[in-house]
Amino acid sequence: MKKLAKVIILGRANVGKSTLFNRLLERPKAITSEIAGTTRDMLIGPVYWQGYNFELIDTGGIETIIPSKKLKKLSPDLNIDFALDIIKKTQAALAEADLIVFLVDLQDGLMPQDRLLAQAVKKYKKPIILAANKADSVNMRQRGAEFYKLGLGEISFVSAKNGGGTGDLLDEIVKNLKKQKKVRKGKKYEFPKAIRITIIGKPNVGKSSLLNSILGEERVIVSPIPFTTRESIDTHFVYKDQNYTLVDTAGIRKHAKEGGELEKASVAKAIANARNSDVCLLVIDISQPITVQDNRLTQLLLDERVSIIIVANKWDLVEGKESNTADDFKRYINRNFPYLKWAPIVFTSAKTGKHVHDILDLAQQVYDGRHIKLNTNALGKFLKNALKKQKPSGSRLFLHPYLSNFKQLRTNPPEFEVQVRKKDVLASSYLRYLENSLRDKFKIIGTPIKVNLKLGNK
């Protein structure tokens, strides 16, 4: 990403950080709900205001940088190890931040967590804007006086839900960044065109660990707690001079309703991200049997006609490996996903990093195949050779269907058309033969191909 000034939104759980983040980005990137701790990872997005660009960071919804003993006292049921992961990431973001937006909740009033968090954040010696959320009325604004006790200066009143006061807040952010000489006027920042890769799989197969391993850093929280990732998290990076956007999604259970409305929203977002991706990494836990959930997920992806790489993760947990073990497992995967034989399989260990970067090299090949454009001349020669190797069987004795005018209809994913005489009958198996032959001839891997049949006039 182009180096932009960093503005971090900080506050205790459920004060409306994600809602404010969405409002300032002017698009719903984060999932919001009334459930405390919905945002467990940091979300990052570019904001453009009054001719200036900056990077906005939404932090995890736990009391982020409060010492763990005090945090445990305030929240007895909290998984401290899990909380410390969020604390660690938030601390790293704070160290790099140019400005902190400290968000409080007028409706709840001043809470002990606000005081502790304010004490902790002051130690970073960063410029701070105190923003009071849910300022939907004059009465609510009058409650703001008690927040002066935090010693964070003047209060910017906002209503993240309906947008009230957010323009003034943005003015204040830009004014502060200009004072630090952290921004300059320019065009709206746009992410460069990138190969979009979505990581998808059922809960706890190692999706977040895989993302961290690919990036070589702890970008998202990894935890043995199923459904840790509720957000779909975009990460932009460069590998071998190619721009990529890597998207980690929520785990998809057999029945989304098991996790309530929040989980349904996460699952819907995961499928939408898969639909809009160039390549989808279908992650399975190869140390465990393939399940009905895995099969259901592959069907969803097939319906969306996405390009797929099967990532058999946790290869390090498979015991007694021999020279033929990988081939045995490939056959096992193909038996369970017979309709995905065109998808390459990578055996990885996100924990050790084994074969992780092979995924990106494969993703480039899959992307190229998905966007391949073949001219009519090349397809004509291909059809001629395919007919030589295997003639289509006919419905009448000694007569074969006559195929012609083979052409490409579209890319992303590739779709083709072949014409047959009206009086001829062509078996669907021959269309599959043409699809497989196209893959072999033009090195198209990991992407669905479709060959349509067009009836001629005669």
- Name the residue ranges covered by the structural domains of the chain: 6-179, 195-370, 376-455
Q: pLDDT higher for 400 or 6?
A: 6
Does the pLDDT of residue 109 top 80, yes or no? yes
Contact of 214 with 360, CB cutoff 8 Å: yes
Q: What kind of architecture, by CATH, is found in domain 376-455?
A: 2-Layer Sandwich (3.30)
Does the pLDDT of residue 180 top 60, yes or no? yes
Question: Among 354-363, 381-390, 419-428, which stretch is predicted with the lowest mean pLDDT?
Answer: 419-428
Instruction: Note the pLDDT of residue 27.
Output: 60
Instruction: Note the pLDDT of residue 39.
Output: 37
Instruction: Note the pLDDT of residue 103.
Output: 94
**Rounded CA separation 398/415 (Å):** 31
Contact of 431 with 451, CB cutoff 8 Å: yes
Tokens representing residue 444 in the block: 């198209």
Q: What kind of architecture, by CATH, is found in domain 195-370?
A: 3-Layer(aba) Sandwich (3.40)
Does the pLDDT of residue 390 top 70, yes or no? yes
Instruction: Note the pLDDT of residue 252.
Output: 61
Does the pLDDT of residue 4 top 60, yes or no? yes
Q: What is the pLDDT of residues 5-49, one digit of tens each?
A: 999 998 888 888 878 988 898 764 443 334 344 334 456 778 899
Asked whether the whole model's pTM tops 0.85, one would answer no
Residues of the chain with pLDDT > 70: what percent?
A: 79
Q: 6-179: which CATH number, 3.40.50.2300, 1.10.3720.10, 3.30.565.10, 3.40.50.300? A: 3.40.50.300
Contact of 253 with 263, CB cutoff 8 Å: yes
What is the arithmetic mean of pLDDT over 105-128?
90
Map residue 313 onto helix, strand or coil.
strand
Q: pLDDT higher for 142 or 331?
A: 331
Instruction: Note the pLDDT of residue 258.
Output: 47
What is the arithmetic mean of pLDDT over 112-123?
87
Does the pLDDT of residue 265 top 70, yes or no? no
Instruction: Note the pLDDT of residue 297.
Output: 84
Residues of the chain with pLDDT > 90: what percent?
A: 42
Torsions phi, psi for 23 (to 5 deg): -65, -45
What is the arithmetic mean of pLDDT over 50-67?
70
Q: pLDDT higher for 225 or 259?
A: 259
Tokens representing residue 186 in the block: 């320019």
Instruction: Note the pLDDT of residue 356.
Output: 87
- Taking phi first (over 0 means left), then psi (-120 to 50 degrees means alpha), and beta for anything else, what does residue 241 get? left
What is the arithmetic mean of pLDDT over 228-253?
67
> How does the average pLDDT of the chain come out, rounded?
81
Instruction: Note the pLDDT of residue 261.
Output: 53
**Rounded CA separation 250/266 (Å):** 6
Instruction: Note the pLDDT of residue 70.
Output: 52
At residue 428 the predicted structure's pLDDT band, cuts being 50, 70 and 90, is confident
Instruction: Note the pLDDT of residue 387.
Output: 93
At residue 62 the predicted structure's pLDDT band, cuts being 50, 70 and 90, is very low
Map residue 68 onto helix, strand or coil.
helix
Q: Among the ranges 25-39, 72-86, 362-376, which has the highest mean pLDDT value?
A: 362-376
Q: Among the ranges 37-46, 68-77, 386-395, which has the highest mean pLDDT value?
A: 386-395
Instruction: Note the pLDDT of residue 64.
Output: 45
155-157 and 99-105 beta bridge pairing: unpaired
Q: Do domains 6-179 and 195-370 have the same CATH topology?
A: yes
Q: pLDDT higher for 238 or 148?
A: 148
**Rounded CA separation 240/254 (Å):** 37
Contact of 248 with 232, CB cutoff 8 Å: yes
